[in-house]
Chains A and B, each alone.
Chain A
Amino acid sequence: MGGGGKMGWAAIRAYTILVYLFMFLPVAVVVLLSFNQNQFGSFPMTGFSLRWFEALWNNDAVMRAFRTSLILGLLTALISTTLGVLASLALVRYAIPGKNLITTILIAPILVPEVVLAVALLLFLNWLGIGKSFALLLAGHVIFTLPFVILVVQARLVSIRRDVEEAALSLGASPIQTFFSVTLPLLMPAVAAGALFAFTISFDDITGTLFWKPGGVETVPTQIFSMLRNSISPEINALGTVMIIITVGLPLLGAAIARQISIKRGM
């Protein structure tokens, strides 16, 4: 490779940086402006302030939405992870008929556009005569996050050697004891990652939520959406900042904890 190659790489690097700037600059602006003293989001900023975060704290509608999102996200994570682990175990460890078909169906929700999935589920439940409810919203989020959990957990499960489980069995642990003392601990990084995925996806989902949520229930994204329709308040910037911290910070925190554990075990 000569000088032309070097030039080419420099161009690719510059282009990449521009793409990232284009994608993340607006996010950075939102975070920055959430600390702005002034009512109107414009530069230069007039001073540093946490007043918009305080306003959020005192905004009942926002706090209610936040609680809803939190409960929804945690329940989604719990249910999705449990179902995902069980499904992965069945698909990886047992010879069940129609394995490929089942895998495809379970993974399908991330291949289908979210709007289509949202409408389909809604129509299906309408046809069954079941109205919108929090349970429906939760079910929708579980369906939508399950594939992520299954993909992560399956990948890990395949790498856990069967003979480790066989060793536990031979030493006198029953199959259930073997699962809890050997398989699950070894699976834990994937289980945690799957749960984090499920939580963060549920936490900032808006498309499906708009279709599925019963009247009067708002999650943080739908709350932001409805606030935007009225006015552009700096409170929205603050809310956005909180969302970013949760959806970016949680996985980072999870990864850091996982790394600490694996260092301790010398793995």
Chain B
Amino acid sequence: MGAVTLNNIVKRFGTFTAVEQTSMQIPEGSFTTLLGPSGCGKTTTLRMIAGLLDPSEGEIIINGKRVNDVPIHKRNLGLVFQNYALFPHKTVADNVGFGLRYRNVPRADIARRVQDALELVQLPQVANRYPKALSGGQQQRIALARAIVIEPDVLLLDEPLSALDANLREDMRVELKNIQSRIGVTTVFVTHDQSEALAMSDQIVVMSDGKVEQVGAPEEVYNTPASEFVARFLGASNILGGRCLSRGPDGAVLEVPVFGKVIVPSAKAPHLAGEGAAKLVIRAEKLLLRDAPPESGAFSAPATVETVDYQGQSVRYFVRAGDTQLQAINMIDERPFAVGAQVHLTLRPQDCAALPG
């Protein structure tokens, strides 16, 4: 088991910089997700940890040892790919046992450990089949078994769920997380899917344009985004540009369109230094539509419903308040508001977050 540290990593391809001056700590035993849109440098970062790419600058440290000059086959890492990358000419058992053959494991032990790994991924019965005879989900489990049977220091997962269909993806998500916590291996998971990141991670590293935007626990990244990019990338957010009028120990007072003066608790404005331009971030599911103005303690504004997107247990509304269009996702019991309905937008102070403008 091992922790991974990146110190000022830079990766350039010709004149293009894929990863800029990035440092991060991946604690031992943690499930850390590199999250971002395609082209943000997350896969490049993973491939540098794996040893498939050499960083242009900086240090990669695994288990306290600098591994920049250690070739991939000596790093003892488990790697799982988006397209499974099973060996099509080998049986499942030979696929899973492949890494053990290069580790001087006695033949009898290989068979036993392969069987154990197959049981861990709940596919003990397919040992003698070829990968082509398995479904996508089964192939990905075999790929996982192959990566963990060697007891790697770090498990690296490169969008392992994105080739699976939606239902299977959610099942695999739970299972993957269970297996990871059972064996306790340090895991680096790359995805562009925010719900995967939020559901599985101990720590999320949000990346954009080759830079780290924010590092934190899922609820921290979700509820207290450090930048507009993070606020927009995770979930559906409304961002209102305005000014910070004052910043005190009790919170920050923001003047924004629609709601006027809003007081954001200090904990929700950690990056806001003081007066000046500021932005208010409101999660779509925290912006509630009500028939009547709320009792005291919440901010409110009148608005008109413009679009109703009914989704069963919830509704997504687009509402207009003055010149501003806002998005709201509300749970409902009965009928949604109709298009054109006059409503009161309701917002609790603890449900806002403030960013420097």
Interface on A for B, CB 8 Å cutoff? 161, 163-164, 166-175, 177-178, 181-182, 185-186, 265-267
Q: Which residues of B contact A170 (CB under 8 A)?
A: 50, 72-73, 75, 77-79, 147, 156
Q: Which residues of A contact B85 (CB under 8 A)?
A: 161, 163-164, 166-167
Q: Which residues of A contact B143 (CB under 8 A)?
A: 167
Is B102 close to A, CB under 8 A? yes
Name which residue of chain B comes closest to A172, CB basis.
B102
Q: Which residues of A contact B102 (CB under 8 A)?
A: 171-173, 177
A/B interface sample: 11 pairs, CB < 8 A: A163-B83, A167-B79, A168-B87, A170-B75, A170-B77, A170-B156, A171-B79, A171-B99, A173-B98, A186-B89, A267-B130
Q: Contacts A169-B73, A171-B150: A163 and B81 contacting too (C-beta < 8 A)? A: yes
Contact indicator per residue, chain B 126-150, by CB within 8 Å of chain A (1) or not (0): 0001101100000000010011001
Give Cα A164–Cα B130 distance, bound, in whole angstroms: 15
The answer to whether B99 touches A172 (Cβ under 8 A) is yes
Which of A161, A163, A172, A175 contacts B150, CB < 8 Å? Answer: A172
Which of B98, B129, B130, B133 contacts A171, CB < 8 Å? Answer: B98
Contact indicator per residue, chain B 52-86, by CB within 8 Å of chain A (1) or not (0): 10000000000000000001111111110101011
Which of B50, B73, B81, B156 contacts A172, CB < 8 Å? Answer: B73
Q: Which residues of A contact B79 (CB under 8 A)?
A: 166-167, 170-171
Q: Which residues of B contact A169 (CB under 8 A)?
A: 52, 71-73
Q: Which residues of A contact B78 (CB under 8 A)?
A: 170
Is B88 close to A, CB under 8 A? yes
Name which residue of chain B comes closest to A178, CB basis.
B73
Name which residue of chain B comes closest to A185, CB basis.
B89
The answer to whether A167 touches B81 (Cβ under 8 A) is yes
Question: Could you tell me the distance in whole angstroms from the C-beta of A261 to the nearest C-beta in chain B?
Answer: 9
The answer to whether B89 touches A161 (Cβ under 8 A) is no
Question: Could you tell me the distance in whole angstroms from the C-beta of B105 to the nearest C-beta in chain A?
Answer: 11
Q: Which residues of A contact B52 (CB under 8 A)?
A: 166, 169
Give Cα A95–Cα B150 distance, bound, in whole angstroms: 32
The answer to whether B73 touches A173 (Cβ under 8 A) is yes
Per DSSP, chain A at the interface is: helix
Is B103 close to A, CB under 8 A? yes
Interface on B for A, CB 8 Å cutoff? 50, 52, 71-79, 81, 83, 85-89, 98-99, 102-103, 129-130, 132-133, 143, 146-147, 150, 156
5 A-B pairs with least C-beta separation: A171-B99, A172-B102, A170-B79, A163-B85, A167-B85
Name which residue of chain A comes closest to B146, CB basis.
A171
Give Cα A266–Cα B132 distance, bound, in whole angstroms: 6
Question: Could you tell me the distance in whole angstroms from the C-beta of B219 to the nearest C-beta in chain A?
Answer: 32
Give Cα A238–Cα B74 distance, bound, in whole angstroms: 60
Which of A172, A181, A265 contacts B88, CB < 8 Å? Answer: A265
Question: Could you tell me the distance in whole angstroms from the C-beta of A186 to the nearest C-beta in chain B?
Answer: 6
Q: Which residues of A contact B147 (CB under 8 A)?
A: 170-171
Give Cα A185–Cα B88 distance, bound, in whole angstroms: 10
The answer to whether B150 touches A265 (Cβ under 8 A) is no
New A-B contacts (10) at CB < 8 Å, excluding given A171-B102, A186-B88: A161-B85, A163-B81, A163-B83, A166-B52, A167-B87, A170-B73, A170-B77, A172-B103, A173-B73, A267-B132
Give Cα A163–Cα B99 distance, bound, in whole angstroms: 15
Give Cα A265–Cα B71 distance, bound, in whole angstroms: 32
The answer to whether A164 touches B72 (Cβ under 8 A) is no
Which of A167, A170, A173, A177 lies at the interface centre, i.e. has the most chain B CB atoms within 10 A of its CB? A170
Name which residue of chain B comes closest to A264, CB basis.
B130
Name which residue of chain A comes closest to B75, CB basis.
A170
Q: Which residues of B contact A164 (CB under 8 A)?
A: 85-88
The answer to whether A166 touches B81 (Cβ under 8 A) is yes
Name which residue of chain A comes closest to B74, CB basis.
A172
Which of A161, A178, A186 contacts B83, CB < 8 Å? Answer: A161
Q: Contacts A170-B78, A172-B150: A267 and B88 contacting too (C-beta < 8 A)? A: yes
Name which residue of chain B comes closest to A175, CB basis.
B73
Q: Which residues of A contact B132 (CB under 8 A)?
A: 265-267
Q: Which residues of B contact A267 (CB under 8 A)?
A: 88, 130, 132
Give Cα A150–Cα B32 distance, bound, in whole angstroms: 44
Q: Contacts A161-B85, A167-B81: A265 and B130 contacting too (C-beta < 8 A)? A: yes
Give Cα A170–Cα B79 distance, bound, in whole angstroms: 6
Name which residue of chain A comes closest to B152, CB basis.
A170
Give Cα A266–Cα B52 distance, bound, in whole angstroms: 30
